Copies of this chain bind each other. A is one copy, B any other.
Amino acid sequence: MISVVILGAGNVAHHLYKAFFSSENVTVTQWYNRNIQSMRPFNNEVQLTDNLSQLIEADIYIIAVSDDAISELSQQLPFEDRLVVHTSGSVSPYDIDMKNRRGILYPLQTFSREANIDFSEVPLCIETLMRKDYDQLKELGQSISNNVKRVNSDQRASLHLAAVFVNNFTNQLFRIAHEITESQGAEFDLLKPLILETANKVQDLSPFKAQTGPAKRNDKKTIKRHLKMLDNEDHKDIYKLMTASIQKTHAPAFSIKKLKKIKKD
């Protein structure tokens, strides 16, 4: 049995708490936040505190607060030489105060308060500064997820950056599609199965192989018509840049096709 104390009460903290609470191998000894209002519903399950000086002993302390607050909170911890990890994709383990042993438990997923997440599917990227702490952190991760990976800080930073592309930027493309369809009185809802299939497709196929459409085909007629239809200059710029990006990625394929054509002719 691994005992943990969770510090913070945001979305990640809430989802971690629920996952740990459901696990047979973990006990949440205590849950800290400056303001314990949002944790009240869990009052009967776990000891809540808003006082750092009352933190009790546990195997692992998990700091799940906003990036900017990690360092300061870690300095205020009233103990030494215990394993303290944070859950951020972009903060260094060295941001945690050096009086404790340090590590990372980064869940690579988007969490919202309402949405239920199957935590067993969430990739957990773990790292510890000391080798001796690694096995225990791995065991903690594996008690809630089937997808625990050792990831160093450079790799974690690249995953965090890539996550902005596949999550935030992708979602903004959905938003633009919403604006485009609405402007013609068409239903955005009709795009939802396509959105799902686009995500499904790259579960088995590389994004390179999954690509289709006018940019990849270099279908100049359609591209021109689309650009004419877009009256929002920002949408036009995004259309041009993404089309150019696709064409650059698939340019070698064009060349090979051209080569074959030349050979055939």
| Cβ–Cβ < 8 Å partners of A229 in chain B | 157-158, 161
| Cβ–Cβ < 8 Å partners of A157 in chain B | 184, 225, 229
B151:A211 contact, CB within 8 angstroms: no
Q: Would you call A214 an interface residue if the criterion is a C-beta within 8 Å of the partner chain's C-beta atoms? A: yes
Task: Report the bound CA distance from A122 to B197 in whole Å.
Answer: 10
Most buried by B among A123, A187, A195, A214: A195
Known A-B contacts A123-B190, A238-B242; the reply to A158 vs B171 at CB < 8 A is no
Known A-B contacts A178-B206, A180-B161, A190-B125; the reply to A201 vs B166 at CB < 8 A is no
B198:A171 contact, CB within 8 angstroms: yes
Query: Interface size (A, Cβ < 8 Å)?
Result: 91
Task: Report the bound CA distance from A244 to B238 in whole Å.
Answer: 11
- Could you list 7 A-B pairs, sorted by A, with CB under 8 Å? A108-B191, A110-B197, A121-B193, A162-B178, A168-B216, A175-B207, A177-B207
